[in-house]
Structure 1
Amino acid sequence: MKTKQSKNYLDYIPVKNPEIEYHTDEKGIVTVEIEWKGFYHRIAQRFFHRPRVSDIRLDGYGSFVWLAIDDVSDVHQLSKKLDEKFPGMEKSLSRLIKFLEILRDNHLIIWKGEKWN
C-alpha cells in the first residue's frame, strides 16, 4: 500500500535560477526578465509577433520575497522576514508558499537539492 508523502515546505530552501535577469527600480519593485527560447517560442515570435523577452513586474510582497531569496534561508525564515516587513498581512505563510510554487512552476526558482530542467 502506498503512503502519501507530506511536503513540509518550511524546510525547503528556494534557489533563484541563475539565468534569470532582474532589476529593481527606485521604489524597490523588482522586474524579472524572461527570455523565451526554443523552437516553438521562435515560431510564436516570428508569426504571432510575441516578444523575445517578457518583463514581469512583481508587486511589493513579491519583490520583497524575491530579494529575500538568498539560497540559504528556508521558507520558515522567509515567512518570518515577511511577517516583520508586513505585520498586518493575512495568511502570510500560505501566500508565501503559493507564490514560491508559482515561481517554481515557471522555472524561476528550484528547491535546493533539485536539478534544473
Structure 2
Amino acid sequence: MTRRERRSRNYLEFIPLRDPGLPWREREPGLVTLTAAHRGFFNRLAQRCFGRPAASRIDLDRQGSFVWLQIDGARPVGEIGALLEARFGEEAAPLYPRLVRFIELLREYRFIRWNTE
C-alpha cells in the first residue's frame, strides 16, 4: 500500500498485525507483557559500559492488553474499537483518540505493522 493510498483510506479500516518476532506472554489472564530486545551497536555498547539490560519488559494495562490480544492481522482498528467499547464502556473514553494513539505507539516501536494484504 502506497502512502497516497493510506492517506485516502479511513484509519479505522487499517488492519494491524503483530510483529511475529516480538516475544510476548500473558502474565495472567487478560494481562500481557511484551519483551523488546535492545539491538544495534549503541545498545550493545550501553549494555557493556553502563549495564543497560539486553531487553525491556513492557507490562500492558487491562485495556492495552485487551487491544493487543485483539490484533490478529484480520481485524481492523474500527472493529477493535467496537470490541474495546463493549468490554470497557465509559472506562475507555475517549475511545478512538486513545485507541489510535496506542496503536500508533505500538507501530512507532515496531511492535506492529499494517497488514497490507
Give the aligned residue type for 1:99: F
Match of residue 84 from structure 2: 82
* Unaligned segments of structure 2, at least 5 residues: 1-6
CA drift of 1:80 comes to 0.6
CA distance in 2 between partners of 1:60 and 1:14 (Å): 19
TM-score (ref. length: structure 1): 0.88
CA distance in 2 between partners of 1:30 and 1:111 (Å): 21
Give the aligned residue type for 1:110: R
Find the partner of 2:48 among 33, 46, 49: 46
Match of residue 94 from structure 2: 91
TM-score (ref. length: structure 2): 0.88
More helix by share: 2
Find the partner of 2:104 among 101, 104, 112: 101
CA distance in 2 between partners of 1:64 and 1:106 (Å): 18
Closer/same/farther in 2, CA of residues 47 and 7 from structure 1, 3 Å limit: farther
1:36 correspondence with 2:41: no
Give the aligned residue type for 1:11: E
SS across alignment from 2:28: coil
Aligned CA RMSD, in angstroms, stands at 1.7
Percent pairwise identity: 40
* Unaligned segments of structure 1, at least 5 residues: none
Instruction: List structure 1 segments (4+ residues) > 3 angstroms apart after TM superposition.
Output: none
